[in-house]
Amino acid sequence: MNKAEIISIGSELTTGQNLDTNAQWLSRQLAEIGIAVGWHTTIADDLDDNVATFRIATQRARLVLVTGGLGPTLDDLTREALARAAGVELVFHPELLEQIRDIFAKRGRTMTERNRVQAYCPAGAEPIPNHWGTAPGIWMKIGESIVAAMPGVPSEMYAMFADAVKPRLLHLGMSGGVLVQRKINCFGAGESAIEDKVPDLTRRGHVPEVGITASDATISLRIFARAASRAEADAIAAPIEKTIRERLGNLVFGVDDEELQDVVAKLLAEKRKTLATAESVTAGLVAHRLGQVAGATYWFRGGIVANVNDVMTALLSVPTELIEKHGAVSPEVAQAMAVACRTRFQSDLAVSTTGLAGPTGGTPGKPVGQVYVGLAWDGGADAIGHSWLGTRVEIQSRTAKMALNRVRLHLLEK
């Protein structure tokens, strides 16, 4: 009974028509005030399911936040379902009807008779005013649980949570201090290889909790530190982060929302170096990611996308003989692309990609997913290979990350 449950109501969610983003938003808000969320539950506009779900939630969660089902239409069932779950009647609140009339008047419209249902609230519950729309919220206790029902429209829900619900939770002392989440992002090894370096931290029951997730070949370790204050939580997370960094070394490229391109951008700016790209298999994705970073024009000179061999020859001066001898998908061509690109763009560094993204075109010697990344710098050049599994889009995305990571590691070494 020490966790919260978030319930989202609406058939447009269970049919998959709309994506529920309210539960995520509320989870983050609760995390910030140290209330752990155990469950998100989404249900259709069905009275029996609503009542049953509220009963389950109020038996297992100390706080239940509900969004949706407070509108004026026939499929808005939250008021009635909450009353049934609590075993009470719905009570008419004349002052709510006035508020709803006012909202219509402010918009220069007349309230429809239908909106009258929005002035009902379960007996013993307290209505929460809604300054942004017609649906008042509901604050009540069912059994040992606090229940707060808010509109499903995100902007109205955000405002009601911030203005009314969050202050009440803090006032009731429900806040369990602060939860700090620190994400350590890694690239260059698989999820299990990374976990093998920190098994003591990720084991169940470790305090603070450390989780591991993989997203498109980026592996993230997440530290969840709970404490009474932000400073204390930070102090709990810091030594764990230090241990992770010591064990993982250069596999760690950034924290929280930092992407590889952000780190490459920072390093290039710091070291006053410029970069150019020569892409075949990634077809512009490396350039695009670099270009997403504000100020890219200062350190990213530009790039070439060479999809066909004659473009490699004409625009990147990769000799036809080299392509004929080794094939366009080879470390030799990757390296030659990088060297030529560096000259063309007069940049300090150039990175290149070549490979097979599929879905067809693979051979036993060069399967789909085989890629090479070349790098050229003042005084040298090389190329590294890798074989990815995945769809065309995944192979391109992971190879682009591999290219950005190659640049990062070079800048760290020099």
Which residues 25-54 are close enough to bind its own copies by CB under 8 A? 25-31, 36-46, 49, 52-53
CA distance 241 to 237: 6
User: In whole angstroms, what separates CA 322 from the centre of its chain?
Assistant: 43
Residue closer to its own copies by CB (options 33, 126) is 33
Q: How far is the CB of 194 from its own copies (least distance, A)?
A: 10
- 365 lies in the site for its own copies, by CB under 8 A: no
Q: For residue 317, state whether it binds its own copies (rule: CB under 8 A).
A: no
Asked if 99 and 129 touch (Cβ cutoff 8 Å), the reply is: yes
Secondary structure (3-state) at 382: strand
DSSP output for 200-250: HHHSTT-SSEEEEEEETTEEEEEEEEEESSHHHHHHHHHHHHHHHHHHHGG
* Among the listed residues 80, 163, 191, 332, the single contact to its own copies using CB under 8 A: 191
112 binds its own copies (CB under 8 A): yes
Three-point CA angle 226, 190, 359, nearest 5°: 125
* Least distance CB 142 / its own copies (angstroms): 18
Grouping H, G, I as helix, E, B as strand and the rest as coil, residue 7 is strand
For residue 29, give both structure tokens.
């808000």
Residue 272 makes contact with its own copies by CB under 8 A? no
Indicate which single residue of 99, 175, 202, 313 sits in contact with its own copies (rule: CB under 8 A): 202
Choose, by CB under 8 A, the member of 87, 108, 364, 365 that binds its own copies: 108
Least distance from its own copies to the Cβ atom of residue 373, Å: 16
Closer residue to its own copies, CB minimum distance, 222 or 247: 222
Assign 65 to helix, strand or coil: strand
Minimum CB separation of residue 50 from its own copies in Å reads 11
The reply to whether 161 sits near its own copies by the rule CB under 8 A is no
Instruction: State which of positions 5-24 bind its own copies (CB under 8 A).
Output: 8, 10-21, 23-24
Number of shown-chain residues binding its own copies (CB under 8 A)? 116
Which residues in the 223-252 window bind its own copies by CB under 8 A?
224
Q: Which is nearer to its own copies, 126 or 234 (CB)?
A: 234
CA distance 253 to 250: 7
Q: Could you tell me the two tokens for 137?
A: 């919220």
CB of 411 vs its own copies, minimal distance in Å:
19
Cα dist from 316 to 310, 340, 370, whole Å: 9, 5, 22
* Burial class of residue 314 (count of CB atoms within 10 Å of its CB; 0-12, 13-18, 19+): exposed
Task: Name the token pair of 110.
Answer: 């007349």
Q: Which two tokens stand for residue 334?
A: 């990757």
**Strands 90-92 and 120-122, sheet pairing:** antiparallel
Rg (CA), the chain: 28
Minimum CB–partner distance for residue 347 and its own copies (Å): 10
Q: Specify the residue, 40 or 168, whose C-beta has the smaller distance to its own copies.
A: 40
Residue 22 C-beta: closest distance to its own copies, Å: 10
Site for its own copies in 123-152 (CB under 8 A): 132-133
By CB under 8 A, name the one of 124, 143, 167, 190 that touches its own copies: 190
Q: Binding residue for its own copies (CB under 8 A) from 94, 171, 204, 413? A: 204
Q: How far is the CB of 413 from its own copies (least distance, A)?
A: 25
Task: Return the SS3 of 386.
Answer: strand
With binding defined as CB under 8 A, does residue 74 bind its own copies? yes
CB of 200: closest distance to its own copies in angstroms? 11
Q: Do 282 and 396 contact (CB within 8 A), yes or no?
A: yes
